[in-house]
């Protein structure tokens, strides 16, 4: 079995300011090296200054979204090529908040992942079921359908993405999936990937949804959980570092 280096990504969502970002990044950088890959995903206007702050550090950065289009008359969109010009490493695609509030479909999410990859930006593809779907026993069908669109669209390149399993009911609610619940879905997703690519064993599957310093270690100890996509706890340097150290 391949040993996968853990990846811990901070999804800052629509939080931050010049001052708050500088303080947060200083805190993270002062924490010194950790035995995991780290990345932060600030809101778009701050990306280039975050890139400058993180230059020559071990912390990478990414965007929270990316356009499915190359360029053109798409008001408000940001292309993968633009992100790449600044050295962007990752782009979160298909976060449940974008699926829910911006009507993103499975196919649009897949097209965004393809646009990112085509420019050398690694998509972090989010999948996850709502509480109603879990209670209706649809978890497996939902996450498989969401991932399947990306597999079909990316074909042999699917091995290059990062997948994040984020049960919607666990996001920002303080209600985490148990390590067993998360592992069960991660194993399913890895099996689905293995049917599509010989590289599934090397792919990183992150868990997201109320990951905190006190639950990170047990989640990350699961065989198919290769790190986390962290929301609320990524806004405090001490918490983000504690989670990174748990990896
Ligand atoms: P949370 O968010 O850690 O605040 O639950 C995770 C996410 O939405 O990526």
- Domain assignments of the chain as residue spans, ordered by start: 65-225
Residue 186 annotated as catalytic? no
Cβ-in-10-Å burial (0-12, 13-18, 19+) of 81 comes to: middle
pLDDT for residue 222 = 98
95 carries an active-site annotation: yes
What is the predicted pLDDT for the residue at 1? 56
Atom of ligand 1 lying closest to residue 209 CA: 5
CATH dotted code for 65-225 = 3.20.20.70
The response to whether residue 208 sits with its C-beta less than 6 Å from ligand 1 reads yes
- Cβ atoms < 10 Å from Cβ of 178: 12
Question: Quick one: angle between helices 106-118 and 139-154, nearest 10?
Answer: 40
For ligand 1, mutation pick of 172, 174, 215 (most atoms within 8 Å of CB): 172
User: Is ligand 1 within 6 A of the CB of residue 100?
Assistant: no
The pLDDT assigned to 33 comes to 86
The CA-based angle 119-100-91, given to 5 degrees, is 20
Which pLDDT belongs to residue 105? 98
**Would you give the distance in Å from CA 181 to the centre of its chain?**
19
**Residue nearest ligand 1's atom 9 by CA:** 231
Distance CA 209, CA 223 (A): 18
Q: Is the CB of 215 under 6 A from ligand 1?
A: no
What is the CA(232)–ligand 1 centre distance, in A?
6
Q: Give the position, in ligand 1's atom list, of the atom nearest the Cα of 96.
A: 8
Helix 47-54 / helix 18-30 crossing angle, nearest 10 deg: 30
Give the residue ranges of the chain where pLDDT is below 70: 1-2
């Amino acid at each position: 079995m391949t040993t996968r280096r853990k990846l811990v990504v901070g999804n800052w969502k629509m939080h931050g300011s010049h001052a708050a970002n500088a303080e947060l990044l200083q805190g993270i950088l002062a924490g010194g090296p950790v035995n995991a890959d780290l990345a932060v995903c600030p809101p778009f206007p701050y990306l280039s200054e975050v890139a400058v702050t993180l230059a020559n550090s071990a912390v990478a950065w990414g965007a929270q979204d990316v356009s499915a289009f190359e360029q053109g008359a798409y008001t408000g969109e940001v292309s993968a090529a633009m992100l790449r010009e600044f050295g962007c490493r990752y782009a979160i695609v298909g976060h449940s908040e974008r699926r829910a509030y911006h009507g993103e479909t499975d196919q649009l999410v897949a097209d965004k992942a393809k646009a990112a990859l085509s420019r050398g930006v690694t998509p972090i593809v989010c999948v996850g079921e709502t509480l109603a779907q879990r209670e209706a026993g649809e978890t497996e069908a939902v996450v498989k359908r969401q991932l399947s669109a990306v597999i079909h669209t990316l074909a042999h390149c699917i091995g290059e993405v990062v997948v994040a399993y984020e049960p919607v009911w666990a996001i920002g609610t303080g209600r985490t999936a148990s390590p067993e619940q998360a592992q069960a879905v991660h194993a399913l997703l890895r099996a689905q990937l293995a049917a599509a690519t010989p590289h599934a064993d090397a792919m990183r599957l992150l868990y997201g949804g109320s990951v905190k310093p006190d639950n990170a270690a047990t989640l990350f100890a699961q065989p198919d959980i290769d790190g986390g996509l962290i929301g609320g706890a990524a806004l405090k340097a001490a918490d983000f570092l504690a989670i990174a150290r748990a990896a």
